Amino acid sequence: MNTGRWASNAQNNFFTRLGSILPNLKGEVMRTSSLSLLQDPMVVVLAAGHGGSDSGATNPPHNERDQAITITNRAAALLQRRNVDVEIAPHDEDTDKSIVWVNRNFSFGDAWVLELHRDSADGLDLDDASRRCGIYYGTSERSKDVGEFVRRSLLLHGAHSQSWARPDTASRFGRLGWIRQTRPAAHLLELGFMQGKNDDAHLSWLAEVAASAIFEAFTGRSWNL
C-alpha cells in the first residue's frame, strides 16, 4: 500500500501534473495549462454551432441552433465567473460568417476558439444520448493533446463513458471548417444528442460540463477546487 502524496486518486494525479496555482497581484490566477497549444492564448472564444437561418439538427420542437445558443451563453457566464476572459461570437451568424468574425478579431496565439454543438443520432438509449459528449481536434499533435485532455475532463464531470475525442477527419464531412479555416487554435464540441434529454436543467448541466472541461484545459486548474 502506498500512502504517499503521489498515491492520490486518478483525479488528483491528473492535476498534480499541471503545476501549482499562484495568485497574481490583480487577484486573478496565473494559468498553468500543461497543453502547449493553450499556453499563449489569453481569451476563450465560444461560438454556438449553426446560427442565422441554419437551425442544425432538430427533434421537434427542439432545434440545435437555439439549444447551442443557450448552452454557449451559460458556459460563458460560468467561465467569466471564474475570471476567464470569454468572448462570444455573434449568434446571428452561421458557421461561415463566424469564421470570418473570428479571423477578423483573433490570430493564432491570441485565443482558443470553440464551437459548441448538439449531436444527433437514432438508436441510443436515453442516458447515453443525454450525456455522451465529444470533441473534434485538428491535424496537429498539439491539437490532439488538447482534445484528449478535454475528453478526460468531460468524463470527470459526468459525461457518458462513450464520450470521445476524434480528429476532424473522422467527422461526417471529413474536415471541419471551424477547425481548418480559423486562425487561432480551434476545437469543436458535441454536447449530448438531440434525441436525449432536452429540458432546461439538462442544457444547464451540459453548459457546466463544457465549462468545466474548457476551464481545466485552459487554466490547468481543477473546476472543483
Enumerate binding residues for Zn ion (CB under 5 A).
49, 56, 117
- Between 117 and 157, CB nearer to Zn ion: 117
Q: How far is the CB of 119 from Zn ion (least distance, A)?
A: 7
Min dist CB 84 to Zn ion, Å, is 24
Task: Tell me how far, at minimum, the Cβ of 211 lies from Zn ion, in Å.
Answer: 19
CA 150/CA 45 separation, integer angstroms: 16
Shortest distance, CB of residue 50 to Zn ion, whole angstroms?
Answer: 6
Angstrom distance (rounded) from CA 186 to CA 140? 11
**56 or 134: whose CB is closer to Zn ion?**
56
User: By C-beta, is 117 or 160 nearer to Zn ion?
Assistant: 117
For the beta sheet containing 86-88, the strands, ordered from the edge strand earlier in sequence to the opposite edge, are 86-88, 43-48, 111-119, 185-193, 133-137, 164-167
Residue with Cβ nearer Zn ion (49 or 51): 49
**DSSP 8-class letter at 153:** H
Q: What is the nearest approach in angstroms of Zn ion to the Cβ of residue 173?
A: 11
Task: Kindly state the helix (H) or strand (E) to which residue 218 belongs, with its residue range.
Answer: helix 200-219
Q: How far is the CB of 2 from Zn ion (least distance, A)?
A: 45
Nearer to Zn ion, 24 or 53 (CB): 53
Q: Phi and psi of 172, rounded to 5°? A: -55, -30
**Which residues lie across from 116 on neighbouring strands?**
48, 189
Closer CB to Zn ion, residue 81 or residue 122? 122
* Three cell numbers, residue 118: 448538439
H helices within 82-140, ranges in order?
95-105, 126-131
Which residue minimizes CB distance to Zn ion?
117
